[in-house]
């Protein structure tokens, strides 16, 4: 399958950022690593291999991005306002640099986002905040209440990046119209500590007429062997 490495200086983040591209054509999938993970994690864990047929046949194209979690949500030495500010710069990098770069060679409009664990937060939050750009988001074992990362600090940016909160108050008709066209898939273990936040997020969306597929797995189901089962099961849509 096609594999290529790309690196450029991000104006949004003020530093070089790296990513891997897999596949020659197909629906593009923005892939996020787990907490503080790297752009090569998805490949190293064998997840690209699970999608080999999809990639070789030109059904999918994976864009495996790097994270800045250690500079944002997990940067405990920084003030919480700085943490959320860095996250917003990361979002600007993704929306203002990665997506336009992708569009230079792939015009397929069925853009997806995908992530496991903390990467699921990025995948789902980005799609919910920019539903006009995405057609499917897939969060595997995600966490969607971000308050524990903020040490009690709160402002509008924290609120609008905490999916369990802002989805309770969706009023913009245009945003809702786009959200209702988004295929939202949340897979979580029943014994996962983040199960409750998945249920709250799913309920909030349904309360606003936004359909979503909450798929609850037995047990904890929060590790690579489980994600290896979830990925091929849901990548083409919910069951």
Residue boundaries of the structural domains of the chain:
3-235
User: For position 239, what pLDDT does the model report?
Assistant: 83
DSSP codes, 106-166: ------EEEEETHHHHHHHHHHHH-TTT-SEEEEES-----GGGTTT---HHHHTT-HHHH
Tokens linked to 117: 């664990």
Report the DSSP beta bridge partners of residue 29.
62, 112
Q: Which long-range contacts (CB under 8 A, 24 or more apart) does 190-193 make?
A: 190/216, 190/217, 190/218, 190/219, 190/221, 191/219, 191/220, 191/221, 192/141, 192/220, 192/221, 192/222
Homologous superfamily in CATH for domain 3-235: Alpha/Beta hydrolase fold, catalytic domain (3.40.50.1820)
Please state, in angstroms and rounded to a whole number, the distance separating the CA atoms of residues 237 and 165: 25
Q: Which residues make Cβ contacts (< 8 Å) with residue 2, sequence separation at least 6?
A: 21, 22, 23, 24, 55
193 φ/ψ angles, rounded to the nearest 5 degrees = -55, -20
Look at residue 186 and give its three-state secondary structure.
strand
- The terminus-to-terminus CA distance of the chain in angstroms comes to 27
Structure confidence at residue 21 (pLDDT): 98
Task: Give the predicted TM-score (pTM) of the model.
Answer: 0.98
Contact 29, 61 (CB under 8 A): yes
Question: Phi and psi (nearest 5°) for 196?
Answer: -60, -40
Chunked mean pLDDT (size 10), the chain, 239 residues: 97 98 98 98 98 98 98 98 98 98 98 98 98 98 98 98 98 97 98 98 98 98 98 94
């Amino acid at each position: 399958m096609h594999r290529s490495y790309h690196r450029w200086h991000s104006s949004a983040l003020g530093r070089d950022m790296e990513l891997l591209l897999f596949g020659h054509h197909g629906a593009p999938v923005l892939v996020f690593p787990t907490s503080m993970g790297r752009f090569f994690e998805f490949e190293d864990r064998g997840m690209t291999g699970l999608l080999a047929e999809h990639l070789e046949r030109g059904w999918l194209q994976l864009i495996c991005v790097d994270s800045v979690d250690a500079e944002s949500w997990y940067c405990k030495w920084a003030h919480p306002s700085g943490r959320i500010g860095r996250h917003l710069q990361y979002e600007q990098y993704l929306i203002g640099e990665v997506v336009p770069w992708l569009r230079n060679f792939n015009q397929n409009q069925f853009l997806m986002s995908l992530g496991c664990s903390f990467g699921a937060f990025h995948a789902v939050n980005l799609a919910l905040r920019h539903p006009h750009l995405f057609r499917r988001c897939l969060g595997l074992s995600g966490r969607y209440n971000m308050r524990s990362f903020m040490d009690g600090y709160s402002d509008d940016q924290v609120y609008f990046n905490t999916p369990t909160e802002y989805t309770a108050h969706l009023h913009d008709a245009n945003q809702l119209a786009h959200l209702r066209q988004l295929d939202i898939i949340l897979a979580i273990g029943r014994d996962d500590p983040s199960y409750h936040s998945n249920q709250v997020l799913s309920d909030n969306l349904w309360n606003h007429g936004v359909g979503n597929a909450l798929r609850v797995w037995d047990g904890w189901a929060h590790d690579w062997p489980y994600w290896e089962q979830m990925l091929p099961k849901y990548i083409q849509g919910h069951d």
